DNA sequence: TTGAAAGCGCTAACAA
DNA sequence: TTGTTAGCGCTTTCAA
């Protein structure tokens, strides 16, 4: 990479010389400290603009130990987490809250296994003041690094615990997946539906998917396995799962899809198969992402989560973390539209 | 934010003391320099692991002027650029190429106007060695900053030039939007279609959309305006545009949609209106994103671009930029499937 | 209200 | 092959 011509970049020393004050005074002006004479402030600012001076963050970090940046780390972009409007919305909440605190959100993705090492180095190297992590489960190198360095961290989604895993000291924020699923399926039963299928997320990988399936089973403990089809939280996956369910159980009269994106795929297949929604098959989604739920045909009855709010919350926890109860479950509620 | 307990973090000095060598030797081990005795290397590594030492990047940057990170800056996430598989694919290419060079890609988004200042400070502050920028047009604060600091930068997409704008010194990579559109529309005419509509991108904002429309007009200079409908590169926008076109020109017999995402929306509307594809209406898209084009009903004839390759190319230009011809137009080709 | 001086943790000559 | 030393550019006491 072309090396930046840093020899030519003005330093605080240059600004000091040009404006006839000391480095300390320039530093005070830059950092907006009050005890500087107004005319001095003005002159220093003028020189800064004239020289095009920009503070060297590395030098500043070295002494302040602060960067003004927060990393958002997301695993599994190949699963198209990236393309999910849910994630988009969450991220917007995070960015806005961080921006309100004057911090810059920087997004890092983990594609390959080897990325873990590089990202761990990045986080450990002090490039950021904290991290928000998605789809990461305990036991990995990133967790080690974060734990060892005491880097403030908040997890998006309750960690999927395996035997012996712990999450001590790790805050997390998650929606009430199980409760929400119960609301959804409960609604379908209250409508008198008898054969309620479900399209699940990848419940062996994602805790949220496991919880939503558990909520379904809470309400329908005796549901036969052939009413349950696993998908992957994508629209396409939802469509394929719906097709499989219709094939296996043409008599089904309702579907709980564990995400709006999957529900929209399911609706497309139902239409293609000539099933009327909700008359023949009632459909309930999960997430209540406006851009999907309000524009499907028919509009989607779904479990609402304040996704942007969850994002904001995660960012806020990073700044003022209550010392003893760092993890939060955000409640859900059912939003009735036309599909069920 | 909780301040990191940095007082407790071991420094290179601690490692040196514990392993009975000098700081320089430790530094050499860390940086993999060859001239260190094997046993010393081993001992130093042991101490590093034992102490949990991680190099302080700020200190390192201060002297090397390198960060090992490259920023990818994307504007207009509210336009759902973020959700476009095209962008996802491009990004993957960038990340992989950067990773191959040992660099970490960090993504920054511009939501609000005030974000520009913060991001400019971030880039200017030396947090990164270079930047790849999307949907950014000359004249903004970011351009100023990049130009002034000489930060290596590559633009994704040919900059949309307005009067007096220049892009001197800014490399860019773009697909052959105009040529690709000509291939698409030319194919439709060669099929004998007489009333070929087009669903455009936001051609007042995006150069790529303007070019694709220009390509359409190259082939059909006399096309009436009511065959042209502007959308926004989203699936939903494509669907709405298709509905408007059918309403206005029920006699249309072909559509060139300026993105696969819009084409997929258009196909859905055509199906809902009972038009057979391609018999009644032939449809051609743009991008050839496998996950869309291969799974629509029917599969989509579309203009192929090597999107991941374009991403890799952008990253590569950052490292070894040919001095005089930094900008690249990547060719396209038509891929025939069932929709036209 | 301002300046002088020390030092953050690291790399990179230069010497040994 | 290793150690010594001098900064990198900034903030921050402490004195003035």
In this predicted model, what pLDDT tens digit does every residue of A85-141 receive, in sequence order?
788 889 999 999 999 999 999 999 988 888 888 999 899 889 999 999 987 766 677
CA distance A177 to A304: 11
CA distance B252 to B245: 8
Structure tokens at B127: 């947090």
For residue A20, the 8-state DSSP code is: T
Cβ separation of A4 and B149 shorter than 8 Å?
yes
The answer to which of A170-174, B151-155, B279-283 has the lowest mean pLDDT is: A170-174
- Mean pLDDT calculated for residue range A194-198: 97
> Band of the pLDDT at A46, cuts 50, 70, 90?
very high
Length of chain A (residues): 340
Residues near chain D strand, CB within 7 A: A 6, 9, 11-13, 23-24, 27-28, 30-31, 53, 55-56, 59-60, 62-64; B 20-25, 28, 34-37, 40, 59, 62-63
For residue B144, the distance in angstroms to the closest alpha carbon of chain A comes to 10
CB A52 within 8 A of CB A58: no
Q: Which residue of A has its CA nearest to B292?
A: A236
Residues 12-71 of B with CB under 7 A from strand C: 12-13, 23-24, 27, 30-31, 53, 55-56, 59-60, 62-64
A177-304 belongs to CATH 3.90.1200.10:
no
CA distance A288 to A335: 8
- The full DSSP string for A236-253 is HHHHHHHHHHHHH-TT--
- Ranges of each domain in chain A: 12-64, 69-174+308-330, 177-304
Cα dihedral B1, B2, B3, B4, rounded to 10, equals -120
CA distance B281 to B246: 11
CA distance A186 to B170: 58
Residue A219 pLDDT > 90: yes
Structure tokens at A283: 């459909």
Cβ separation of A152 and B1 shorter than 8 Å?
yes
- Long-range contact set of residues A121-126: C-beta below 8 Å, sequence gap at least 24: A121/B54, A122/A71, A122/B68, A122/B69, A122/B104, A123/A71, A123/A73, A123/A149, A123/A151, A124/A149, A124/A151, A124/B54, A125/B54, A125/B55, A125/B56, A125/B57, A125/B60, A126/A61, A126/A65, A126/A67, A126/B56, A126/B57, A126/B58
In this predicted model, what pLDDT tens digit does every residue of A314-338 receive, in sequence order?
999 988 765 545 688 999 999 999 9
Percent of residues, chain B, with pLDDT higher than 90: 65
Residues in chain A with CB shorter than 8 Å from the CB of B82 are 82, 88, 91
CA distance A64 to A57: 10
CB B175 within 8 A of CB B310: yes
CA distance A17 to B105: 37
- E strands within B258-312? 282-287, 301-304
B69-174+308-330 belongs to CATH 3.40.50.2300:
yes
CB A192 within 8 A of CB A199: no
- Mean pLDDT calculated for residue range A246-269: 96
CATH for B12-64 is 1.10.260.40
CA distance B304 to B281: 21
Q: Which of A3, A71, A104 sits opposite B119 (nearest CB)?
A: A104
- CA–C1' gap, B32 and D1, in angstroms: 14
Q: Coil, helix or strand for B335?
A: strand
Cβ separation of A54 and B125 shorter than 8 Å?
yes
Q: Which nt sits closest to A27, CA to C1'?
A: D11
Name the residue with tokens 């309702």: A254
Q: Which nucleotides of C are covered by protein (CB under 7 A)?
A: 1-13
Percent of residues, chain B, with pLDDT higher than 70: 89
Cβ separation of B151 and A1 shorter than 8 Å?
no
Cβ separation of B77 and A88 shorter than 8 Å?
yes
Give the strands of the sheet with A130-134, arranged side by side: A328-330, A171-175, A153-156, A130-134, A69-75, A104-110, B104-110, B69-75, B130-134, B153-156, B171-175, B328-330
Cβ separation of B126 and A58 shorter than 8 Å?
yes
Structure tokens at B210: 């303007």
Nearest to B300 by CA among B271, B246, B261, B248: B261
For residue A338, the 8-state DSSP code is: S
In this predicted model, what pLDDT tens digit does every residue of A175-185 receive, in sequence order?
999 999 999 99
CA distance A331 to B13: 50
For residue A189, the distance in angstroms to the closest alpha carbon of chain B comes to 31
> Band of the pLDDT at B79, cuts 50, 70, 90?
low
Close Cβ partners of A246 (under 8 Å, ≥ 6 residues apart):
A252, A269, A270, A273, A275
pLDDT at A169: 59
CB B227 within 8 A of CB B249: yes
In this predicted model, what pLDDT tens digit does every residue of B199-224 receive, in sequence order?
999 998 888 899 999 999 999 999 99
User: Which of the residues B106, B122, B319 would you substitute to probe the A interface, choosing the one with the greatest number of A C-beta atoms within 10 Å?
Assistant: B106
Give the strands of the sheet with A282-287, arranged side by side: A228-230, A196-200, A254-257, A282-287, A301-304, A333-335
> Band of the pLDDT at A159, cuts 50, 70, 90?
low
Close Cβ partners of A49 (under 8 Å, ≥ 6 residues apart):
none
> Band of the pLDDT at B2, cuts 50, 70, 90?
very low
The answer to which of A167-176, A256-265, B91-100 has the lowest mean pLDDT is: A167-176
- Mean pLDDT calculated for residue range B228-248: 95
Structure tokens at B125: 């502050």
For residue B28, the distance in angstroms to the closest alpha carbon of chain A comes to 17
> In the predicted model, what is the mean pLDDT of chain B?
88
> In the predicted model, what is the mean pLDDT of chain A?
88
Helix, strand, coil: what percent of chain A each, to 5? 45, 15, 35
In this predicted model, what pLDDT tens digit does every residue of A24-45 receive, in sequence order?
999 999 999 888 899 999 999 9
Q: How many Cβ pairs closer than 8 A exist between chain A and B?
A: 162
In this chain, the answer to whether the domains covering B12-64 and B177-304 adopt an identical fold is: no
- Positive or negative, the Cα torsion across A258, A264, A267, A273? negative
Name the residue with tokens 């038509």: B334
Structure tokens at B262: 């819009």
Cβ separation of B114 and A130 shorter than 8 Å?
no
Residue B125 pLDDT > 80: yes
């Amino acid at each position: 990479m072309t090396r930046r011509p840093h020899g030519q970049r003005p330093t605080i020393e240059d600004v000091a010389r040009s404006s006839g004050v000391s480095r300390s005074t320039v530093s005070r002006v830059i950092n907006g400290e009050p005890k500087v004479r107004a005319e001095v402030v003005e002159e220093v600012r003028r020189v800064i603009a004239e020289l095009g001076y920009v503070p060297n963050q590395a030098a500043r970090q070295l002494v302040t130990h602060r960067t003004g940046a927060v990393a958002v780390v997301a695993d599994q972009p190949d699963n198209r987490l990236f393309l999910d409007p849910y994630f988009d919305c969450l991220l917007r909440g995070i960015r806005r809250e961080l921006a309100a605190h004057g911090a810059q959100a920087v997004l890092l993705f983990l594609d390959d296994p080897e990325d873990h090492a590089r990202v761990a180095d990045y986080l450990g190297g002090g490039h950021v003041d904290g991290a928000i992590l998605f789809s990461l489960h305990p036991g990995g190198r990133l967790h080690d690094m974060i734990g060892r360095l005491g880097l403030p961290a908040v997890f998006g989604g309750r960690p999927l615990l395996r035997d012996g895993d712990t999450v001590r000291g790790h805050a997390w924020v998650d929606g009430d997946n199980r409760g929400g699923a119960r609301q959804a399926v409960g609604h379908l039963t209250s409508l008198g539906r008898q054969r309620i299928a479900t399209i699940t997320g990848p419940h062996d990988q994602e805790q949220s998917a496991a919880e939503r399936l558990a909520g379904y089973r809470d309400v329908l403990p005796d549901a036969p396995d052939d009413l349950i089809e696993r998908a992957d939280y994508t629209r396409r996956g939802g469509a394929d799962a719906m097709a499989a369910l219709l094939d296996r159980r043409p008599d089904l009269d309702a579907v709980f899809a564990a995400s709006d994106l999957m529900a929209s795929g399911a609706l497309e297949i139902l239409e293609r198969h000539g099933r009327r929604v909700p008359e023949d098959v009632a459909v309930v989604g999960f997430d209540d992402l406006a851009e999907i739920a309000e524009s499907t045909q028919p509009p989607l009855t779904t479990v609402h989560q304040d996704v942007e709010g969850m994002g904001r919350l995660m960012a806020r926890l990073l700044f003022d973390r209550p010392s003893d109860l760092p993890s939060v479950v955000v409640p859900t509620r059912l939003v009735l539209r036309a599909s069920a």
